[in-house]
C-alpha cells in the first residue's frame, strides 16, 4: 500500500501547486491513497464546499484539517454531509463533523484519524492521546491501515504522540507549522513518522501568507489582515510505502518559482 | 482632587448603565475628573467615533482602552485625532494612537497613562514597567496628578505594577477582567490601587456578554459569535479623593435589574 | 446549612492568618462546614502532610487545591490516603488523588468538587464542564449539598461555569487569582457564586509573595525564586447560608497589619 | 567564509554526538567559524561553566542560547565573564549576559546576534525585530558578517524575522524546536535562512529527552522530571558558504544508532 500525504494547502496558490504537480506525481508514484490537510485551502482560512470539491476532484481521497476548520462560516452547513472531510477527533463530542473515517480503497480498509495537539493551541480540546486510544479500540480489528494527521504546534507533543502510538498507527504525519521537517523516520515499532509535512503554497511567503502582513503585526502590535501570498509555489508531501516486508517514508518537495 | 473611574463599559447595556447612573452620581460626588475604559463600548468589541462622542458627552474626560481597541475597523481613521482617547502606551512606537495624555481640569494638570500587561495577552507589546518609567521621567515635573489604567489579565502583573509605581502614580486602577475586585487600597507610598474596577454592563452575563455563547464555546470548542447581554445592568466604579492630608479610595456598585 | 469558605492560603503567613482569625470567626459564625484552598499552603507552593494536618486541625473539613497541588514532591506519597484533600477532578483519570468527595456533617451529605479551568492554565486537563456533569449524574441523588471550587485564571471561564451549573451546585467559589472579587451573588437558579474568594496571606505582597521578586522577574525576564511575604496578613472568606427559604452569600475580610 | 552551525545540543548525549562527528566534519568542511546553541547542553537544561568549556574546546567559536539559558543556577556567576556565550539580546537591558558579540576570525569580523521570539514563549522580552535594528545600526559598518540565532517556537515569527532582516543579516538560523526543518534557502535579498537547525542529541527521544516522561506528562497532567535520553545520537547542522559570487546553505545530518 502506498500513501501520498500532503500537508496544509494554503489558498489558491496552494491549489495551483496541486494542479501543477499532483497529476504527474500520481502518474509517477501511483499512490493507492491520497490525503491532504485542507484547513487553509480557501483563502488561507478554512475550507468551502467548492474548494473541498475541487480538492476531491484532483484525486485526493480524504481531507483532514485543524484549528482553522471553522474559519469559513458555511462549513457548519456541509461538514456533517461529507465523509471525506475530517476535523480533529478530539474536539468535544458536541462539535459538528467527524474526527475519523474508514475508507475502502483497492480492497483495503484504511482508517484516517485527525487529531489536534493542545499545547499552545488555545482550544478546549479533549486529550488527543486518549482519544486515539478510544478510536483505536473500536476500529483496530476492522481496518488494514491506520493513518493519523496530528495537527499541532509543539514538536514535543507531536513526537510524544508518535511514540505513544508507535506500532498501532501505520503513519503519523504532523501538520500546522507549515514548514516541512527533515525528521521523517520509521519509529522502533514500525510507525512511519514526520513532525510536519510542510505547506503546499507560496514560495515567497510567511507560512503561505503575504510577507509584509505578519511583519507589520509583529512591529506594531495592531491586528493585520492576512492574505494568501501569490507567485511561485512549493509542494510538500510524503510518500509512505508499506509492504509485508518493510515500511518506507520519503519526503517530496517540488517548486515552481 | 476627586477622581471618578469607571472600568470596561460593555456595549449598549453598559452605555445604558452610564446614562442611568452617571448623572446622579456626578451630582452627588462632584468629581473633578472622570475616566472610563471604552475598549468594549461599541457592541462589546472596540469603539466607534459615535460611541466615543456619546461617552465624552456624558462628562467623561478621558477614555482608556486595551486589547480590544482595534476591534472596530474605523478606529484607525479617528484614533489619531482624538486626544481624549488612549490606547496602551506600550504598544510599539509605530502603532497608531497615543498612550497617555495630559489634561487640564480645575487648574490642575492630570496625566492619564494607559498601559497593558503582557502575561497571557498574546500581543507583542513593550515592557509596561519601563514604558511607565520613560513617560514618568518626561512628565513628572509638569503634572499634578498621574493616573494609570493598567489593563491586564494576570493579578500578579497588576499588583507588581502597582507596587512598582507606588509613590509615583497617584492612582493605578486595573481593567480587563470585567469583574470588580475587593482589594482597593492605598499602597505604602501613597498610590491608590485596585486590581480591577469591574465592568459596567449587563447583570446576567458572562463578563458582559450573553451567557449561552461562552458556554457553547467551552463545550464544543467551536468558535462562537459573542454578543452583548441585555437586560438589567451593573455600574462599577471607584472614587479616589486626594488631598494634601490623605488619599481615599472607595468602590461604587450600582445595579438595576 | 452554613458554609465558611476560605480561598488560597499562602504559606506560613496565610496559616498565621488562619490561626489568628479562624477560631473567633468559627465562634461567631458557627459554620457547619469549612473549606479552604490549600494549593499554596506550604511555602507558597503546594502542600505537605504536616501542613495539611495543621489545616485540618484548625477545624477545616476539606482542603481543595489547583495547579500548585504537585509542587511539593511528597504529595504523591500521601494524596491517595487523605480523603479530605482534593485536587481538580478534571485531571486525567490516571492522575493521583481524588477530585471530589462526599462528606457527612451534621446529618447532611455534602459533596465538594474541585475543578480547574483550562484557559491560560497550560495543563492538559479534561473539560471541567463535562467533568462536572459526570460527577453530578453520579452523586445528585445521594447528596444534600454540592459545593464547587472552580480554580481558574480567566473570569469568563469562571462565570460561564457558574451559570452552567446554576441550580445544580449550591455553591461555586473561584480560587487561583489570589485577589478577592466583589461579585458575590445568587445566580438566577439559586447557586451562590463568587469569581474569587481571594488569598489568605500577606498584606504587603504580590498575590502573597514578596513584592520585589515578581517585579524583578518582569523587569529582567530572568527567572526569580518566589518566597512567601511575611508581616501583616489578610484573611478572605465567604459565608454561604442556605435554608429552605433562601440562600445568602457574604464576603469576609479581616486584616492585621 | 564558511560557517558551520549546530542547533540545540541536548545534554551528554548531544555532547557525545559532537565528540563523535565534529572533528571529522571540521577536517572535511574546514569551516572558518563554528556556532552551536548550548541552552540544553548541561543535563538538558541550561549550561554550566564546565560544559561551556567542553564545547569551546571542541573548536566551537560561539555558543548561543535561548529560554533555557538560566536553568543552571551557576550561570549567573559566569555569564558576564564569557564573551563567547550569548543569551538572547532582547532580554531586557537589566538581564545579565550579552546578546551579541563581534568576533575576529581569519581576518574577518563576524557579528553573532542571539534573539528570541515572543510568540508562545511566555517571557517578558523586548521586540526582537527592533532589537535587531538597534544592534544592526551600531555594528553594520564595522563587521563583515552578521549571523543571527533566532530562538523561537512559532514558525510564522521565525520566517517573518528572516524576511525582515533579509539582505542585512548574512545568516538567520532558527533553534528551539529541536526538530530540523527542510526549508533551508537563500532569501530574495541574499540571507541564508533555515527555520530550525534541529537538535544534536539522542535518536530515540522526544526532542532529546526520554520518551516516557513527556508521554506521562501529557497523559496524567502531573509534572514529570525530564531527563536526557541516552543511546544512539543524531547530529544536525547547517553549512553556509558565502563568497563574493554567491551564498550556499546545506543541511547536514549524521546519525549513530
Ligand atoms: Fe495550517
Ligand atoms: Fe493549523
Ligand atoms: Fe474589556
Ligand atoms: Fe481587555
Ligand atoms: Fe493559588
Ligand atoms: Fe492556582
Ligand atoms: Fe532547546
Ligand atoms: Fe529553547
Ligand at shortest distance from the CA of B228:
3
Residue C204 labelled as part of a binding site: no
Nearest to D198 by CA among D222, D181, D221, D212: D181
pLDDT in tens, A54-64: 999 999 999 99
For residue D220, the chain C residues in CB contact (below 8 A) are: 91-92, 94-96
Residue C8 labelled as part of a binding site: yes
pLDDT given at position A187: 98
pLDDT given at position B133: 98
pLDDT in tens, A61-107: 999 999 999 999 999 999 999 999 999 999 999 999 999 999 999 99
Which one of A92, A119, A127 has the shortest CB-CB distance to C92?
A: A127
For residue D253, the chain A residues in CB contact (below 8 A) are: 182
Quote the CA–CA distance of A187 and A209 in Å, as a whole number: 33
Helices A49-57, A11-29: inter-axial angle, 10-degree rounding: 20
Cell numbers for A48, please give them: 468551502
Ligand at shortest distance from the CA of B151:
4
Ligand at shortest distance from the CA of D66:
8
Distance A10 CA to ligand 1 centre (A): 7
CA distance D151 to chain C (A): 15
Radius of gyration from C-alpha coordinates of chain C: 17
Distance A39 CA to ligand 2 centre (A): 7
The 10 Å CB-count burial string (b at 16+, else e) for C128-151 is bbbbbeebbeeeeeebbbbbbbbb
Quote the CA–CA distance of C81 and C69 in Å, as a whole number: 15
Quote the CA–CA distance of A76 and C176 in Å, as a whole number: 36
pLDDT given at position B146: 98
The answer to whether the CB atoms of B125 and A221 lie below 8 A apart is: yes
Q: Which of C127, C198, C214, C221 to mutate to test the interface with B (most CBs of B within 10 A)?
A: C214
Residue of D nearest to A255 (CA): D183
The answer to whether the CB atoms of C222 and D95 lie below 8 A apart is: yes
Half-sphere exposure of A177 (CA within 13 A, CB side): 34
* D152 to A150, D164, D178: CA distances (angstroms): 21, 15, 11
Cell numbers for B87, please give them: 490606547
Q: Which of B8, B168, B187, B211 to mutate to test the interface with C (most CBs of C within 10 A)?
A: B211
A208 φψ region: left (φ > 0), alpha (ψ -120 to 50), beta (else) = left
Interface of C with D (CB under 8 A): 70, 91-92, 94-96, 123-125, 217-223
The answer to whether the CB atoms of B156 and C206 lie below 8 A apart is: yes
Nearest to C114 by CA among C149, C139, C143: C149
Distance A9 CA to ligand 7 centre (A): 29
CB–CB of C123/C116 below 8 Å? yes
Helices D128-139, D155-164: inter-axial angle, 10-degree rounding: 30
Residue of A nearest to C126 (CA): A126
Mean pLDDT value of segment B109-137? 98
Which one of B119, B124, B130 has the shortest CB-CB distance to D127?
A: B124
Q: Give ipTM to 2 decimals.
A: 0.97
Distance D82 CA to ligand 6 centre (A): 39
Nearest to A4 by CA among A240, A246, A202: A240
Who contacts C137 (Cβ-Cβ below 8 Å, separation ≥6)?
none
Identify the active-site residue in B68, B87, B236, B242. Answer: B68
The answer to whether the CB atoms of D222 and C124 lie below 8 A apart is: no
Interface of A with D (CB under 8 A): 120, 127, 129-130, 153-157, 159-161, 163-164, 177-183, 188, 195-196, 198, 204-207, 209, 211, 214-215, 218-219, 251, 253
To 5 degrees, how large is the angle CA B159–CA B160–CA B164?
115
Tell me what the pLDDT averaged over chain D comes to.
Answer: 98
Cell numbers for A209, please give them: 501568507
Residue bearing cell 520613560: B134
CA B205 to chain centre: 19
pLDDT given at position C89: 98
Residue A164 has a CB neighbour count (10 Å cut-off) of 22
Quote the CA–CA distance of D191 and D147 in Å, as a whole number: 9
* C151 to A141, A142, A173, C138, C173: CA distances (angstroms): 42, 43, 36, 22, 8
pLDDT given at position C118: 98
For residue D124, the chain B residues in CB contact (below 8 A) are: 118-119, 127
Which one of C94, C95, C221 has the shortest CB-CB distance to D95?
A: C221
* D201 to B88, B93, B94, D17, D234: CA distances (angstroms): 44, 41, 42, 7, 5
Residue bearing cell 524583578: C216
DSSP conformation class of D129 = H
CB–CB of D207/D198 below 8 Å? no
Distance A177 CA to ligand 1 centre (A): 7
pLDDT given at position D12: 98
Quote the CA–CA distance of C157 and C249 in Å, as a whole number: 21
* B179 to B42, B248, C84, C240: CA distances (angstroms): 19, 21, 31, 20
Q: Which of A93, A116, A119, A124 to mutate to test the interface with C (most CBs of C within 10 A)?
A: A124
Question: What residues of B are designated binding site?
Answer: 8, 39-40, 67, 151, 176, 178
Element (DSSP H or E) covering residue B253:
strand B247-256
Residue B217 has a CB neighbour count (10 Å cut-off) of 20
Who contacts D197 (Cβ-Cβ below 8 Å, separation ≥6)?
D5, D6, D7, D8, D37, D173, D174, D175, D180, D236, D237, D238
Write a three-state SS string for A47-116.
CCHHHHHHHHHCCCCEEECCHHHHCCCCHHHHCCCCCCECCCCCCCCCCCCCCEEEEEECCEEEEEEEEE
C and D: number of Cβ contacts within 8 A: 40
Nearest to C118 by CA among B176, A122, B220: A122
Quote the CA–CA distance of D251 and D239 in Å, as a whole number: 6
Distance A208 CA to ligand 2 centre (A): 12
pLDDT in tens, C125-184: 999 999 999 999 999 999 999 999 999 999 999 999 999 999 999 999 999 999 999 999
Question: Is domain B2-256 annotated with CATH 3.60.21.10?
Answer: yes
Nearest to D117 by CA among D60, D76, D162, D80: D162
Mean pLDDT value of segment A190-215? 98
End-to-end Cα spacing for chain C: 33
Question: Where does chain D show beta strands of DSSP type E?
Answer: 2-8, 33-37, 62-64, 100-105, 108-116, 145-151, 171-175, 185-186, 192-194, 201-202, 233-242, 247-256
The answer to whether the CB atoms of C207 and B159 lie below 8 A apart is: yes
CA distance B105 to chain C (A): 31
Mean pLDDT value of segment A5-21? 98
The answer to whether the CB atoms of D163 and A195 lie below 8 A apart is: no
pLDDT given at position B227: 98
Q: What share of chain A is helix, strand, coil (3-state, %, to 5)?
A: 25, 30, 45
pLDDT in tens, D172-200: 999 999 999 999 999 999 999 999 999 99
Q: Which of C222, C224, C225 to mutate to test the interface with D (most CBs of D within 10 A)?
A: C222
The 10 Å CB-count burial string (b at 16+, else e) for B92-120 is beebbbbbbbbbebeeeebbbbbbbbbbb
Quote the CA–CA distance of B234 and B14 in Å, as a whole number: 8
**pLDDT grade, residue C216 (50/70/90)?**
very high
Mean pLDDT value of segment C51-75? 98
The full set of domain ranges for chain D reads 2-256
For residue A217, the chain B residues in CB contact (below 8 A) are: 124
Mean pLDDT value of segment D120-129? 97
Residue D178 labelled as part of a binding site: yes
Mean pLDDT value of segment C75-102? 98
For residue B126, the chain D residues in CB contact (below 8 A) are: 126-127
The answer to whether the CB atoms of C127 and A126 lie below 8 A apart is: yes
CA distance B126 to chain D (A): 6
Active site residue B236: no
Quote the CA–CA distance of D114 and D63 in Å, as a whole number: 10
pLDDT given at position B114: 98
The 10 Å CB-count burial string (b at 16+, else e) for B169-182 is bbbbbbbbbbbbbb
For residue A161, the chain D residues in CB contact (below 8 A) are: 218
DSSP conformation class of D245 = S
C178 φψ region: left (φ > 0), alpha (ψ -120 to 50), beta (else) = left
pLDDT given at position A69: 98
Helices (H), chain D: 11-29, 49-57, 75-78, 128-139, 155-164, 212-220
CA distance B241 to chain D (A): 34
pLDDT in tens, B140-199: 999 999 999 999 999 999 999 999 999 999 999 999 999 999 999 999 999 999 999 999
For residue A177, the chain D residues in CB contact (below 8 A) are: 155
The answer to whether the CB atoms of A129 and D218 lie below 8 A apart is: yes
CA C217 to chain centre: 27
pLDDT in tens, B82-99: 999 999 999 999 999 999
Question: What residues of B are designated binding site for Fe cation?
Answer: 8, 39-40, 67, 151, 176, 178
The answer to whether the CB atoms of B206 and C164 lie below 8 A apart is: no
Amino acid at each position: 500500500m502506498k500513501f501520498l500525504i500532503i500537508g496544509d494547502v494554503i489558498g489558491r496558490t496552494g491549489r495551483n501547486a496541486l494542479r501543477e504537480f499532483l497529476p504527474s506525481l500520481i502518474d509517477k508514484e501511483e499512490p493507492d491513497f491520497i490525503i491532504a490537510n485542507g484547513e487553509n485551502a480557501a483563502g488561507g482560512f478554512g475550507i468551502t464546499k467548492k474548494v473541498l470539491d475541487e480538492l476531491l476532484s484532483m484525486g485526493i481521497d480524504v481531507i483532514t484539517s485543524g484549528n482553522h476548520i471553522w474559519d469559513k462560516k458555511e462549513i457548519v452547513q456541509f461538514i456533517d454531509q461529507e465523509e471525506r472531510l475530517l476535523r480533529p477527533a478530539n474536539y468535544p463530542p458536541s462539535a459538528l463533523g467527524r474526527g475519523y473515517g474508514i475508507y475502502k480503497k483497492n480492497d483495503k480498509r484504511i482508517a484516517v484519524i485527525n487529531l489536534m495537539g493542545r499545547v499552545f493551541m488555545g482550544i478546549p480540546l479533549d486529550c488527543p492521546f486518549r482519544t486515539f486510544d478510544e478510536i483505536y479500540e473500536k476500529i483496530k480489528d476492522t481496518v488494514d491501515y491506520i493513518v493519523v494527521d496530528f495537527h499541532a504546534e509543539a514538536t514535543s507533543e507531536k513526537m510524544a504522540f508518535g511514540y505513544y502510538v508507535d506500532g498501532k498507527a501505520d503513519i503519523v504525519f504532523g501538520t500546522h507549522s507549515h514548514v516541512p521537517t527533515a525528521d521523517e523516520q520509521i519509529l522502533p515499532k514500525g510507525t512511519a513518522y514526520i513532525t510536519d509535512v510542510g505547506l503546499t503554497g507560496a514560495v515567497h511567503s510567511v507560512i503561505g501568507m503575504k510577507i509584509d502582513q505578519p511583519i507589520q503585526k509583529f512591529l506594531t502590535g495592531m491586528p493585520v489582515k492576512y492574505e494568501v501570498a501569490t507567485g511561485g509555489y512549493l509542494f510538500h508531501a510524503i510518500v509512505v510505502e508499506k509492504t509485508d516486508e518493510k515500511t518506507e517514508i520519503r519526503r517530496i518537495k517540488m517548486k515552481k518559482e
